[in-house]
Amino acid sequence: MQQVLVLNASYEPLNVCSVRRAHVLVFKGRAEVLEELRQPLRSASDTFAWPHVIRLVNYVRVPRAVQRKISRRALFARDGWRCAYCGTASGRLTLDHVIPRSRGGGSVWENVVTSCAPCNLRKGNRLLEETAMRLRTPPRPPAPVLFIHLATSSIPTGWQRYLPQERDPASVAA
């Protein structure tokens, strides 16, 4: 399935959508085509540009309080597919709550990290202060561009100029 990069009116990357959804947004005047593919979209009676990158006409406010749900894949990509405690990239990765849920810790981006199975077992149901373990970096919500990287198997060349220069999380996994 062909995907289209959706930018906010401020050129900030928002998400990825289908060609059909992008065409509807453009057709209704809610978006404009910034990049198009060579082949056109054809209907029975008309021909349209095949959108590759679109920009919304009106700015969409994306509140920071509304966060994307945590998935293991997004969490592991955020942490570079490495254990947040020892830094290993080998072995089985798990999700760990820095402040255990049984001690009032929530399932929010700021409280979950990638952990290898041995570190997760070693930490158990304890706080970091009760162990000799340390986080390599403090957990934080991922940048929105992470979800664009995860939504597509590879970033098309036409999108690269609109995305911040971050490393591709999929390449870290290899």
- Both 57 and 79 in one domain: the answer is no
172 lies in some domain = no
DSSP classification of residue 70: P
- Both 8 and 59 in one domain: the answer is yes
- Both 102 and 54 in one domain: the answer is no
The number of domains in the chain is 2
38 lies in some domain = yes
138 pLDDT above the threshold of 90: yes
135 lies in some domain = no
52 lies in some domain = yes
What is the CATH number for 115?
A: 1.10.30.50
CA–CA separation, 153 vs 68, rounded Å?
A: 20
Residue 67's pLDDT is 65
166 pLDDT above the threshold of 60: no
Residue 169's pLDDT is 45
Please give the full DSSP string across 67-94, using - where no structure is assigned.
Answer: -PPP-HHHHHHHTTTS-TTT---SS-EE
- Both 78 and 57 in one domain: the answer is no
172 pLDDT above the threshold of 50: no
Between residues 167 and 159, the one the model is more confident about: 159
65 pLDDT above the threshold of 50: no
- Both 80 and 122 in one domain: the answer is yes
Domain span at residue 80 reads 72-130
Residue 171's pLDDT is 45
For the ranges 84-98, 139-153, 160-174, the one whose mean pLDDT is highest: 84-98
The pTM of the full predicted model, rounded to 2 decimals, is 0.70
* Closest listed residue to residue 34, CA positions, set 46, 22, 21: 22
167 pLDDT above the threshold of 70: no
Q: Would you call 33 helix, strand, or coil by DSSP? A: strand
The mean per-residue pLDDT over the stretch 58-74 comes to 78
- Both 48 and 91 in one domain: the answer is no
137 lies in some domain = no
136 lies in some domain = no
Cα dihedral sign for 92, 127, 124, 107? negative
CA–CA separation, 89 vs 93, rounded Å?
A: 8
- Both 90 and 55 in one domain: the answer is no
What are 122's two structure tokens? 């070693």
Residue 81's pLDDT is 95
Phi-psi category of residue 91: left, alpha or beta, with phi > 0 → left and psi -120 to 50 → alpha: left
Phi-psi category of residue 25: left, alpha or beta, with phi > 0 → left and psi -120 to 50 → alpha: alpha
Residue 63: band (very low, low, confident or very high) from pLDDT cuts 50, 70, 90: low
Residue 154's pLDDT is 83
What are 123's two structure tokens? 């930490």
Q: By the 8 A CB rule, do 32 and 57 touch?
A: yes
Q: By the 8 A CB rule, do 67 and 42 touch?
A: no
The mean per-residue pLDDT over the stretch 69-73 comes to 89
30 lies in some domain = yes
Q: State the average pLDDT for the chain.
A: 88
- Both 77 and 120 in one domain: the answer is yes
CA–CA separation, 21 vs 56, rounded Å?
A: 12
- Both 56 and 97 in one domain: the answer is no
